Amino acid sequence: MKAAVVVFPGSNCDRDAARALELATGQKPHMAWHGDASMPDVDLIVLPGGFSYGDYLRTGAMAAHSPVMREVVARAQKGVRVIGICNGFQILCESGLVPGVLLRNESLKFVCRSVRLKVENNTTDFTKGYEQGQTVAIPVAHGEGNYFAEAETIKKLEGEGRVVFRYIDNPNGSMNDIAGIMNEKGNVLGMMPHPERVAEPLHGCTDGIKVFESLLKAVG
């Protein structure tokens, strides 16, 4: 599987994502700079966590208009798989690749800890390595992870099985305990928890590596 990790000014999880991809696929991903107008042909694009452009205006708002995102959006529309993690999820929302917005945490405090998630849909390219309804432990680290969307959008996400991960112990106040969603085509996933931070035994947990292993199996 050929993959690319997009690096924005302020990204701080790009190398973590690259490490997880290398563990899962045996290949080093292409590191795409935010100012690049193009990238090599890849099967997967990762938008990593961090504080792109210092989170000015709104989280992910400036990154959504960077040159590389025009290419990411075009690739996603053609069916290339894209995963946005934490700040990457915020960028996906701002780019219109997934619906909704990420608001300030209900507590108005930055939350950094391991949380329990339920795998709501294990039929996606991102979750085939998990069992349906499986509980996993994956850390979060965000100040704006409170997922919000209009009632009709929430109803659609739930009805179409597009809620992929759900918080068991909601750390931010997200509607319906939503931790991760995908687009209508099923090739774009946005999630606030960081699977790349629990990808190998040295992390004390390997619950996150199956996200990347699932993608490898899906691509073939």
Q: What share of the chain is helix, strand, coil (3-state, %, to 5)?
A: 30, 25, 40
**Among 94, 120, 196, 213, the one annotated catalytic:** 196
Q: Across residues 51-67, what is the average pLDDT?
A: 91
Q: In whole angstroms, what is the distance from residue 109 CA to residue 172 CA?
A: 9
Q: From start to end of the chain, where are the E strands?
A: 3-7, 30-33, 44-47, 81-85, 101-103, 111-119, 135-142, 146-148, 163-167, 178-182, 188-191
102-122, pLDDT tens digit by residue?
Answer: 999 999 999 999 999 999 999
Tell me the one-letter amino acid at 85. Answer: I
**Among 34, 71, 94, 194, the one annotated catalytic:** 194
pLDDT at position 37, please? 86
How many of the other CB atoms lie within 10 Å of CB of 44? 25
Region of residue 75 (phi > 0: left; psi between -120 and 50: alpha; otherwise: beta): alpha
196-205, pLDDT tens digit by residue?
Answer: 999 999 999 9
- Report DSSP state, residue 28: P
pLDDT over threshold 80, residue 220: no
125-152, pLDDT tens digit by residue?
Answer: 999 999 999 999 999 999 999 999 999 9
pLDDT at position 170, please? 98
Is residue 194 annotated as part of the catalytic site, yes or no? yes
pLDDT over threshold 90, residue 193: yes
Of 182, 177, 165, 190, nearest to 46 by C-alpha is: 190
Q: Across residues 11-36, what is the average pLDDT?
A: 96
Task: Give how far Cα 178 sits from Cα of 43, 44, 105, 108, 175, Å.
Answer: 26, 23, 13, 18, 6
Length of the chain: 220
Report strand pairing: 146-148 vs 81-85: unpaired
**Among 86, 93, 94, 120, the one annotated catalytic:** 86
pLDDT at position 79, please? 97
The domain 3-219 belongs to what CATH superfamily? Class I glutamine amidotransferase (GATase) domain (3.40.50.880)
